[in-house]
Amino acid sequence: MSNRKPYVREMKRTWWKDHPFYRFYMVREATVLPLIFFTICLTFGLGSLVKGPEAWQSWLDFMANPVVLILNILALAGSLFHAQTFFSMMPQVMPIRIKGKTLDKKIIVLGQWAAVAAITLFVLVLV
């Protein structure tokens, strides 16, 4: 056994700020924070719906608060940003080949957004 101390590299709390790739990654991962708030609001909304009309109206009043509206808009923006980064990665992670030729990346990404638009339209028409 050696009596030497092992080298431990110092790691600052802001290590990710030094490189653009890590900054982008941290911003992307931080988009989950407004989504957590949105999910909790929806969960309480379902609970209010079960409890009756008074609880439901109370939840609707809470959701009409300007701060809640801003947080929900941030959650939507974060969700769309997260989807965009995921969709742009998809052709690199899972290239689609048709008759031995790789499908263009733009077609794959646009196809995913078209699916999102179609599902959104279907849900809006359904409701």
Tell me the pLDDT tens digit for each residue of 23-54: 998 988 888 888 899 999 999 999 999 999 99
- Residue 57 three-state SS: helix
* CB within 8 Å of 109: residues ≥ 6 apart: 87, 88, 90, 91
Q: What pLDDT shows up at residue 3?
A: 82
Q: What pLDDT shows up at residue 31?
A: 87
Question: What confidence tens digit (pLDDT) does each residue in 77-86 have?
Answer: 999 998 899 8
Q: Which CATH number fits domain 20-94: 2.40.110.10, 3.90.180.10, 1.10.390.10, 1.20.1300.10?
A: 1.20.1300.10
Question: What confidence tens digit (pLDDT) does each residue in 67-77 have?
Answer: 999 999 999 99
Q: For residues 21 and 59, what is the distance between their CA atoms, to the nearest angstrom?
A: 40
Checking if the pLDDT of 1 tops 80, the result is: no
Continuous segment of H or E residues that includes residue 10 = none
Q: How many Cα atoms within 13 Å fall on the side-chain side of residue 65?
A: 10
Q: For residues 24 and 36, what is the distance between their CA atoms, to the nearest angstrom?
A: 20
Rounded percentage of the chain residues whose pLDDT exceeds 70: 99
Q: What pLDDT shows up at residue 40?
A: 95
How high is the mean pLDDT of the chain? Answer: 91
